[in-house]
Structure 1
Amino acid sequence: MSDAPRRELAEKIAGEVALSDDPGGTLRKWRTDFDVTQTELANELDVSSSVISDYESGRRESPGIALIRRVVFALLDIDQRRGGNRIRQYARVLSAGFESDVVRDLQEYSASIPIERVYDAIDAEELVSGDFDTVTGHTIINSIAAIRRLSSDDFFRLYGQSTSRALVFTNITRGESPLVALRVVNPTPNAVILHGLDREELWDHAPDLARVDGFSLALTNMDVDKLSDNLRSLCR
């Protein structure tokens, strides 16, 4: 694995923590994103778990640069010993030309996976059945950031290596903006999953657009971190 993604990710995490109004909360966010317990991190740093808990809860003064650096390297070292999944995920997003606050994850599968299996993994409710019943990858996208910052060409790059994939949009209000944006991209994905919406909140015309363009449309309210982890598990 190249050192560049690890170095850039380290700089990103350290910068977010150092500039955060709630550095302890930001440390906690990154620790949980790496799926590292307070005990595991404490052992890596050779401190007690209560020290980590105190920093994350704000009971201790904000961590200085030296401690932030140690925590960041500890998280990355733990990830590398586990196989480097989080670092590789970040590298994939970078290589596709996206910022990680726009695209949370971009994965290719080693074989086609039934869409139904994807939906089962993330407790998704299918509203419209599409023309295809399998996918070969997924992309998790921050809808608001994507609409504000991506061109139509950028939207096409969300497909990664294949359009035979599921696009998962987070930060949704009604689902109108991403579905309209997809209309200018040809071809369309095999599945679109809108996160954080109930059926009654969905834009009225969303199912009609899905039927016209031939993609499966589904909704899920699973916690986005768990959703991301469950989708990654499909790659193993």
Structure 2
Amino acid sequence: MRDPREELAERIAGEVALSEDPGATLRKWREEFDVAQTTLADELDVSASVVSDYESGRRENPGIRVVRRVVEGLLAVDERRGGDRVRQHARVLSAGFDQDVVYDLREYAATVPLTRFYRTIDAEEITAGTADTVAGHTVINSVEAIKRLSSEEFYRLYGQSTNRALVFTDVTRGESPLVALRVVTPTPSAVVLHGIEPEGLWEHAPALARADGVSLATTTRPLEELLEALRELP
């Protein structure tokens, strides 16, 4: 497989180049890397106002040289912090997924109590399952996964162990993820539906989860905050 750092750099640069609003795309990636404007400015040896002007569109669209410097700056900051963003990208690539389908796929060094997992992402359990721990998680764009993944690819969402939590984002009521899981065996230990309150849940969802022995929960924590919180797990 190609070097994940190089792959990620090309992906960011390509998105910026093809974007109708390059400044907004640069801002999105800076925020994805959790890098402040002042930190990026220091890395690039420019003033914070220069970074702000590019992101807001006050300066003309950045050329390839500017984009390259920004991308290299973000990756350099990430490396000094331990390389979490590049490793996350590498995990998704190694599992054979695009990162607009799977946001994160990770195995833990030790099992984590399900109560701690839910607490970490501010999730509320709706239905208890048969497992009380998880050994990993996968965060999935539910719409893209259902549109684009085959049943075999869907199974790969489990990574190395089915004792994991599958977190589905872009959920309206939860029908599609739960129905899809019914035709894929075995089942995960937990399913988290992201972006809905418990009262907005599909009425049949708890019964389907109970039938399969799956813990079911919901969370409305913003996606970037959720992904950041999951990095705290071992």
Q: Say whether the fold is shared (TM-score over 0.5).
A: yes
Secondary structure of the residue aligned to 1:219 is strand
Return the alpha-carbon distance in structure 1 between the equivalents of residues 10 and 85 of structure 2: 15
Secondary structure of the residue aligned to 2:218 is strand
Return the alpha-carbon distance in structure 2 between the equivalents of residues 28 and 134 of structure 1: 37
Give the match for residue 98 of structure 1: 97
Runs of 4+ in 1 over 3 A off after TM superposition: none
Give the match for residue 5 of structure 1: 4
* Shift in Å, 1:200: 2.3
Secondary structure of the residue aligned to 1:131 is coil
* Shift in Å, 1:177: 0.5
Secondary structure of the residue aligned to 1:158 is helix
Structure 1 unaligned spans of 5+: none
Determine if contact 1:193/1:218 at 8 Å carries over to the other structure.
Answer: yes
Return the alpha-carbon distance in structure 2 between the equivalents of residues 113 and 199 of structure 1: 24
TM-score normalised by the chain length of structure 1 = 0.97
Structure 2 unaligned spans of 5+: none
Give the match for residue 216 of structure 2: 217
Return the alpha-carbon distance in structure 2 between the equivalents of residues 233 and 185 of structure 1: 30
Indicate the RMSD between aligned Cα atoms, in angstroms: 1.0
Determine if contact 1:107/1:232 at 8 Å carries over to the other structure.
Answer: no
* Shift in Å, 1:3: 6.8
Return the alpha-carbon distance in structure 2 between the equivalents of residues 60 and 136 of structure 1: 47
Return the alpha-carbon distance in structure 2 between the equivalents of residues 181 and 131 of structure 1: 20
1:195-214 deviation line (CA, Å, top 9, x unaligned): 00112221111000100000
Return the alpha-carbon distance in structure 2 between the equivalents of residues 153 and 101 of structure 1: 18
Counterparts of 1:106-125 in structure 2 under 5 Å?
Answer: 106-125=105-124
Return the alpha-carbon distance in structure 1 between the equivalents of residues 77 and 187 of structure 2: 38
1:183-222 deviation line (CA, Å, top 9, x unaligned): 1111100000000011222111100010000010000000
Give the match for residue 184 of structure 2: 185
Return the alpha-carbon distance in structure 1 between the equivalents of residues 86 and 143 of structure 2: 25
Return the alpha-carbon distance in structure 2 between the equivalents of residues 40 and 148 of structure 1: 38
Secondary structure of the residue aligned to 1:172 is coil
Return the alpha-carbon distance in structure 2 between the equivalents of residues 155 and 233 of structure 1: 26
Give the match for residue 49 of structure 1: 48
Counterparts of 1:63-212 in structure 2 under 5 Å?
Answer: 63-212=62-211
* Shift in Å, 1:75: 0.6
Amino acid at match of 1:30: W
Return the alpha-carbon distance in structure 2 between the equivalents of residues 198 and 21 of structure 1: 33
Give the match for residue 40 of structure 1: 39
Return the alpha-carbon distance in structure 2 between the equivalents of residues 193 and 131 of structure 1: 15
Return the alpha-carbon distance in structure 2 between the equivalents of residues 57 and 130 of structure 1: 47
Percent identical across equivalent pairs? 67
